[in-house]
Amino acid sequence: MKKTHYIIPTAALLVTLLVHRWTDQDRSTAVASVSGEADAGSRSPSSARHFIERSLAAKGMLWEKAATDARKRASKSMTVAADSFSGAMASEIGAPVALRLSDQFPPLQAEVTNRKSESDGTVITHLRIPGAPMGQLTIQENVAMDFFLAQLYYDNHPVAYEFRKSGGLLVATRHELSELICSLIDHQQGEVEHMGLPPVDKVRGKQRDEEDGVAIQKAKKLLQEAKPGTGGGTTAITLSVADASVTEGNSGTKNLTFTVRLSKADRKKTITVNFSTANGSAGAGSDYTPASGTITIAAGRNSATLNVAIIGDTAVEPDETFFVNLSSPVNAVIGDGQAVGTITNDDSAPSSVPVFNSLPGAVAVAYLDMDGQVVSGTSWAGGATITARGIVGTLSSAQMLEICRRTAEDFSPFEINVTTEESVFLAAPSNRRIRCIITPDNEWYGSAGGVAYLNSFTWTGDTPCWVFSDMLSNSPRYIAEATSHEIGHTLSLYHDGRISPAEGYYTGHGLGEIGWAPIMGVGYYQQLVQWSKGEYLSANNTENDLSRITTLNGFGYRVDQVGNTIAAASPLAGASGVRSASGILEATGDLDVFSFSTAGGSCSFGAAGDATSQNVDVLLEILDASGAVIASANPDNLTDATVSATLAAGNYFLRVSGTGRGDVLGDGYSNYGSIGQYTVSGNAP
């Protein structure tokens, strides 16, 4: 005898029915599953499987399975009734509503829990879906802007549903939850744990910084030894002066000691070299006492020291630098002839958020909110009020400015203004902006480095993304990496992880300046962090970051300010002697060409990425009047480049471009993400 099972309409049943509707079974099978099933002894394997899935769903243990191919991140869609949510939007808080999505399954029961109206006319309504498990439904609507978005989540389940308009229709799309929220879904013993961008591993961070320091010094040494006339490949003794630093002090003076070393001691000859100081950001007379003279290294010795007096004060200022330059050696040649002296500020004062705008007037805005914010009625925390403190007082103004500059470098190729001014944010169109709240208060969400809703940049209203500073060691570098990552999610970008080993976030490869990681992975532990299209080994996400950013969010690349041919070249500043320029490589493969003339002689130029945070690996070339390459430079282990050549009198060109390194499936990377800011300086007599 067959036995009929009667099932009470619940949220679990709705999603189970959505599962049946979105699988490959035919409609008759899906409809039949609403009314009942035969007993286990007479069911087909397929119908038994559907019964098991539905039963588990009713218990809150299983919903529709997530996409099995992480590369495809397949989502499935179906059309629902266009007026599905009209009743909910019109109901009072506390009122029960029945959401009639389709005649294929019973209404979804819900209760209105909260509603908020934004200044731009967006109305956000929150509803609770009773049952096991409990669900949350958020509806956002802006009639004037023809904007509608509804999202349905369930407690402790990896699948969510999103409802958007498509012409005159309303379309429901099934997503993995990790595609909508910055989450790492960890299936362990039937439990699902939701975490945002991971917090910093302090031990790993310290170890990587130490490894990077060693790698960078080795790379610079190899490059210096390879330079012509420095003793590379000969038996000449070379002189080098090392960088040094000291805390400033509040009054009087203290010495900053520099060490001049020989590549090897000369047992018979005395070696001398002249030295002199030069201003950087530190000024002679106010920050340090200028010095010059001759260093003498006696026969048989291999080093000597020189002192520069540092002037103490109580002014609050950034760390400052000056230079010590070597010249006119006797019985040796100069290897590394310049040292950087760093005067570390030791004064403090109440910090304030610095005023910062990376591209005033841009069509799109990313607001870094650092002074605290009260958030309510958004998609976060089910619409509950979140009171978030700022980082003012914890981080100095200089550190907050570093966060701004690092984040701005990541977005420098695009028509978007990274700002700290709320008035600039509020003046932007509500579907062309995002607020990123940087706060120590993560308790309402959990242990995470940050979290964001996918695509929320184009939502109307003010649904922010979050970066949790306490989880990031209050480090400006780590906070900036998390900020770019979370804003990236709001611009439609998914996580960059790996298939094997299976991991949600790729932490990168390599060491030193050319240690690489994707922005949408974890960039905490690498120096060169770039936008990616999943070219590294075993990538689980091959989406084109640059294309998605510039085509899905209402803004594109910046206008190219420097021509990419010799015919369209921009002149280097300076008529003779010292030359300089700056620019931005806006897109993969962009070339910036500058013109210069010389009376003839030794010409040398250097190109460096942004001084605070560098995204571009520079290739630098000198071209003749016909466009042929005379000399080029792209150091294997450094991201900056220096090129030199002895030129006859005439007109020449300097070409700057972004490049890659090595094997993308090994420890290398392509030129795809080598875009961003750079400066050029040099000398052409």
In the chain, ranges of CATH 3.40.390 domains: 364-551
Residue 478 has φ and ψ, to the nearest 5°, of -65, -40
Percentage of residues of the chain with pLDDT beyond 90: 57
The residue ranking higher by pLDDT, 684 or 69, is 684
Q: Quote the CA–CA distance of 100 and 123 in Å, as a whole number.
A: 21
* Residue 155 pLDDT > 80: no
Q: Could you tell me the two tokens for 286?
A: 């106010």
The pLDDT of residue 336: 84
Average pLDDT, the chain: 83
Whether residue 513 contacts residue 650, with contact meaning beta carbons closer than 8 Å, is answered with: no
Show Cβ contacts of residue 171 under 8 Å, excluding neighbours closer than 6 positions.
77, 78, 79, 80, 163, 164, 165
The pLDDT of residue 174: 77
Which candidate, 386, 415, 391, 387, places its Cα nearest to that of 403?
391
The pLDDT of residue 104: 66
The pLDDT of residue 419: 98
Task: Work out the pLDDT band at 348, boundaries 50, 70, 90.
Answer: low
Task: Work out the pLDDT band at 162, boundaries 50, 70, 90.
Answer: confident
Q: What tens digit of pLDDT does each residue of 620-677 get?
A: 999 999 999 999 999 988 999 999 999 999 999 999 999 999 999 999 999 999 999 9
Whether residue 366 contacts residue 418, with contact meaning beta carbons closer than 8 Å, is answered with: yes
Q: What tens digit of pLDDT does each residue of 593-630 get?
A: 999 999 999 999 999 999 899 999 999 999 999 999 99
The pLDDT of residue 680: 94
> What CATH code is assigned to 570-684?
2.60.120.380
Task: Work out the pLDDT band at 158, boundaries 50, 70, 90.
Answer: low
Range 241-259 average pLDDT: 92
Q: To which residue do tokens 């106010």 refer?
A: 286
User: Beta 303-311 vs 450-451: how paired, if at all?
Assistant: unpaired
Range 128-141 average pLDDT: 84
* Residue 253 pLDDT > 60: yes
Show Cβ contacts of residue 469 under 8 Å, excluding neighbours closer than 6 positions.
391, 394, 395, 438, 439, 440, 479
Q: To which residue do tokens 């009072």 refer?
A: 92
Q: What tens digit of pLDDT does each residue of 25-50 get?
A: 333 222 222 222 223 333 444 444 44
Task: Report the range out of 115-129, 311-325, 431-445 with the highest average pLDDT.
Answer: 431-445
Q: Does domain 237-344 have CATH number 2.40.50.140?
A: no
SS3 of residue 341 by DSSP: strand
Q: Quote the CA–CA distance of 354 and 399 in Å, as a whole number.
A: 10
Q: To which residue do tokens 């439990």 refer?
A: 191
Report which secondary-structure segment, H or E, holds 488. Answer: helix 476-490
Q: Residue 574, exposed/middle/buried by CB under 10 A (0-12, 13-18, 19+)?
A: middle
Distance set, CA 110 to CA 98, 130, 143, 226 (Å): 6, 7, 23, 72
Q: To which residue do tokens 């701005």 refer?
A: 408
Range 577-583 average pLDDT: 90
Q: Which fold has domain 364-551?
A: Collagenase (Catalytic Domain) (3.40.390)
Q: What tens digit of pLDDT does each residue of 225-238 get?
A: 555 444 344 457 88
Residue 48 has φ and ψ, to the nearest 5°, of -65, -40
Which candidate, 212, 129, 155, places its Cα nearest to that of 477?
212
Range 208-224 average pLDDT: 74
In the chain, ranges of CATH 2.60.40.2030 domains: 237-344
Q: What is the pTM of this model?
A: 0.74
The pLDDT of residue 227: 55
